[in-house]
Amino acid sequence: MQTVTAEAPTHSAPAASASVPTSAAPASLVQPGMKWYVLRVASNKEESVRDALIRKVKIEGLEQRVGRILVPTLKEKKMKAGVLKIVERKLYPGYVFVEMATEDDGSVNEGVWFLIKETSGVGDFIGSDGKPTSMPDQDVTGMLAASEKAEEQPGLSGLNIHKGDQVKITDGPFESFEGEVESVDEKRGMVSVIVSVFGRSTPVEVGYWQLEKVE
């Protein structure tokens, strides 16, 4: 069995605790007999490592030792070349989260370790002396919450328009109208602007890409 080397994460991955918690994580967080561990992987290989491990675990019939394998991401709306697109941003670049059962002494089962280490792009588990260190419950909670949030309606990234800003509408039926931002819906990428129509203040809803700030 190969040795698991210790290396502290350089990104914002949940840090593994200095010692394995004495109390088991809540059932909602982890499968019986398993804990969560942080696996260091090559940059931009997170998804390919995850997919390969899921496939190998199923082929080798190791579901009793390896549970969920996750790469938490956040969906965002961004403008690219004038087109609104949905993109996914990895919350913990360089890390894959593995739910698994270890041996009684805390080491990784030899068959599981060989399967993982033979996967392209894999580095080491966060830990030392051949024994990966499990994640604290609070970090597991945050990581799983981030994973579930990725399924929600994406928010809008890089929106620099806020309530009270003076803006000019650059496209659509109200093109060239100027007004004040009343509210911003980041999930939909829509902005409500108060403009003057026939001398009356009227709220109109436009996409944020149809606006420019008025200095």
| Residues 114-151: tens digit of each pLDDT | 999 999 999 999 987 778 999 998 889 888 887 776 55
Lowest mean pLDDT among 82-86, 108-112, 155-159, 163-167: 155-159
pLDDT band at residue 185 under the 50/70/90 scheme: confident
pLDDT at 73: 84
Rounded average pLDDT over 54-75: 92
Q: For residue 19, give every residue at least 6 positions away whose Cβ sits within 8 Å of its Cβ, in sequence order, or none.
A: 133
Q: With contact defined as beta carbons under 8 Å apart, do 67 and 35 qualify?
A: no
Domains of the chain in start order, with CATH, are 35-156 (3.30.70.940), 166-213 (2.30.30.30)
Q: Is the pLDDT of residue 192 over 90?
A: yes
Q: For residue 121, give every residue at least 6 positions away whose Cβ sits within 8 Å of its Cβ, in sequence order, or none.
A: 41, 42, 45, 48, 49
pLDDT at 159: 60
CA max distance for the chain: 79
Rounded average pLDDT over 201-211: 86
pLDDT band at residue 152 under the 50/70/90 scheme: low
